[in-house]
Amino acid sequence: MRPGTLWLSALTALFCFASCNRENEQIKVYRVVKAPLENSTEAAMPSGATASLPDNHPPVGGGASMPATAPQTTSNVPNPPNWQAQPLAQMRKASFLVKGENGAVADISFVTLGAAAGNVLDNVNRWLGQLKQPAVTEEKLKSMVQPLSTARGGVTVVDLSGEPENGDANKDGRIVGAIATDETGTAFFKMRGNAALVAAEKENFLKWVSAWRAVPTNTETSNTTMPAPPTNSDKPQIKWDAPDDWAPAAPSAMRYASFTVEKDGEKADISVVTFSGDGGSDVDNINRWRQQIGLPAIGAEVLTSLVAPVHAGEVHIHTVDMSGASARVLAAWTRQGGRAWFFKLNGPPVLVEQEKPKFVAFLQSIRF
């Protein structure tokens, strides 16, 4: 081989060697950057997992939400081996899916809210509405409740059956719900799905609820718990002048305040509830109240004709008057200081009509 040819061959080999090294270096850098992203994605969303949206908490707006790919809340609470953990969504602290025969499924959720998360009756009636069942009265509710004793106090349990949503009996038709309140707020446990599967898993569900209620409060972490407003603070967030014949009702962890009024053997209930955030849309809240007294839902386009204003100084309050076959509701709401406030007079139509002027005066006396 001639010297010139030998020199050219050597130079070509050196160039190829350097080029290959650069390509290898580029591949190494690419892999260092890419691998952690792939591992993170796989850990956050298991193959085949689907996010599930909560439907068992009261209307709350502005609350913190968790991404659909968030891992399960860390706790020492065991869950049945056939319960498949699901990615957390919205306000859930725990979320599971259990599968039965022939495509039957049930969804299990655990949500915590502030102390003013609505009373038991309102929440049970909302669940009944999801199963296309009529609302019940406070008296009827007493016969439906199944008390459950736990390490952190009693839990109210209800077992509800009805029509499956969207007509799919494999996915719906029965709800077992549990509501627990204490100084930390209100906990909602819910199992909803195929009627036979829910019945088969009820014992496991109640054991799971009991296990959660055995966990010390300082070991539970939540991004959604809203602090309860101070009911006995020297500087309360709200003041009003209540009529003399409105008797303060027994304290409730789910209400900021309660009153009752009785006349001629009839009784009406007055409630004050508050939520952090905007408290949900007006049309959703109105339709929830309408459902409670057996009225059909309305569309947002008719809100203006139903809502009437009341002014408490500079505070603007919206009100709505709704009458059903055997009950009437006067509801009012306002949003102040990052919170939504709801005021409601509920009872027999004749008594509510008599108390309406006092209720309006009560609203006009409100001071923040």
pLDDT at residue 136 tops 50:
yes
The pLDDT, as a whole number, for residue 104 is 94
Report the pLDDT value the prediction gives residue 49, as an integer from 0 to 100: 30
Stronger pLDDT, 34 or 233, i.e. the higher one? 233
- What is the predicted pLDDT for the residue at 20? 47
Q: What is the pLDDT, as a whole number, of residue 68?
A: 34
Q: What is the pLDDT of residues 318-337, one digit of tens each?
A: 999 999 999 999 999 999 98
Percent of the chain scored above 70 by pLDDT? 69
pLDDT at 279 over 70: yes
Kindly report each contact of residues 80-86 with a partner whose C-beta sits within 8 Å and lies 24 or more positions away, as own/partner: 80/201, 80/204, 80/208, 83/108, 83/204, 86/49, 86/50, 86/51, 86/52
8 Å CB contact between 24 and 31: no
Whether 38 shows a pLDDT value over 50: the answer reads no
Parallel/antiparallel/unpaired status of strands 266-276 and 247-248: unpaired
Mean pLDDT for the stretch of residues 249-264: 80
Measured distance CA(213)–CA(145) in Å, rounded:
18
CB 63 within 8 A of CB 277: yes
Contact 111, 54 (CB under 8 A): yes
Q: Quick one: average pLDDT of 235-246?
A: 85
User: Residue 95 to residues 59, 113, 176, 293: CA-CA distances in angstroms?
Assistant: 19, 16, 15, 32
Q: Give the pLDDT of residue 153.
A: 81
Is the pLDDT assigned to residue 282 strictly greater than 60? yes
Strands 92-99, 83-85: pairing is antiparallel
pLDDT of 250 over the 70 cut: no
Question: Is the distance from CB of 320 to CB of 344 less than 8 angstroms?
Answer: no
Angle between helices 120-130 and 282-292 (to 10 degrees): 90
Q: How confident is the model at residue 4 (pLDDT cuts 50, 70, 90)?
A: low
Residue with the bigger pLDDT between 88 and 104: it is 104
Q: How confident is the model at residue 75, as a pLDDT?
A: 53
Place of tokens 């038709």: 173
Domains of the chain, earliest start first: 66-219 (2.60.120.1690), 247-364 (3.40.1000.10)
Read off the tokens for 73.
């809340």
pLDDT band at residue 215 under the 50/70/90 scheme = low
Is pLDDT larger for residue 172 or for residue 77?
172
Using CA atoms, how far residue 321 sits from 140, 201, 312, 318, in Å, is 24, 42, 18, 11
Position 88 scores a pLDDT of 80
Taken in order 261, 264, 267, 270, the sign of the CA dihedral is negative
Residue 2 pLDDT class (50, 70, 90 cuts)? low
Q: Whole-number mean pLDDT of the chain?
A: 76
* Residue 115 · residue 182 · CB < 8 Å: no
- What does the DSSP assignment read for 351-366? HHHHHHHHHHHHHHT-
Residue indicated by tokens 């509920």: 346
pLDDT of amino acid 122:
87
Most confident range, picked from 73-77, 127-131, 222-226: 127-131
Task: Report which of 348, 307, 308, 342 is spatially closest to residue 329, judged by C-alpha positions.
Answer: 348
pLDDT at 339: 86
Give the DSSP H or E segment for 258.
strand 257-263
Q: What is the pLDDT of residues 290-299, one digit of tens each?
A: 988 889 989 9
Sheet of strand 315-323, all strands in order from the earlier edge strand to the far edge: 247-248, 257-263, 266-276, 339-347, 328-336, 315-323, 308-312
Confidence tier at 61 by pLDDT (50, 70, 90): very low
How far apart CA 307 and CA 322 sit, in angstroms, is 10
What pLDDT sits at residue 329? 96
Between residues 277 and 226, the one the model is more confident about = 277
pLDDT bucket at 232, cuts 50 / 70 / 90: very low
**Pick from 84, 51, 55, 85: which is nearest to 68 by CA?**
51
User: Which one of 252-266, 273-287, 325-339 scores highest in mean pLDDT?
Assistant: 325-339
Report the alpha-carbon distance of residue 63 to residue 226 in Å, rounded.
Answer: 8
Q: How confident is the model at residue 253 (pLDDT cuts 50, 70, 90)?
A: low
pLDDT band, very low/low/confident/very high, at 359 (cuts 50, 70, 90): very high
Region of poorest pLDDT, from 2-16, 77-91, 157-171: 2-16
Q: Does 146 or 185 have the greater pLDDT score? A: 146
Give the pLDDT mean for 115-135: 83
State which amino acid sits at residue 61: G
Q: CA-CA distance, 364 to 368, in Å (whole number)?
A: 12
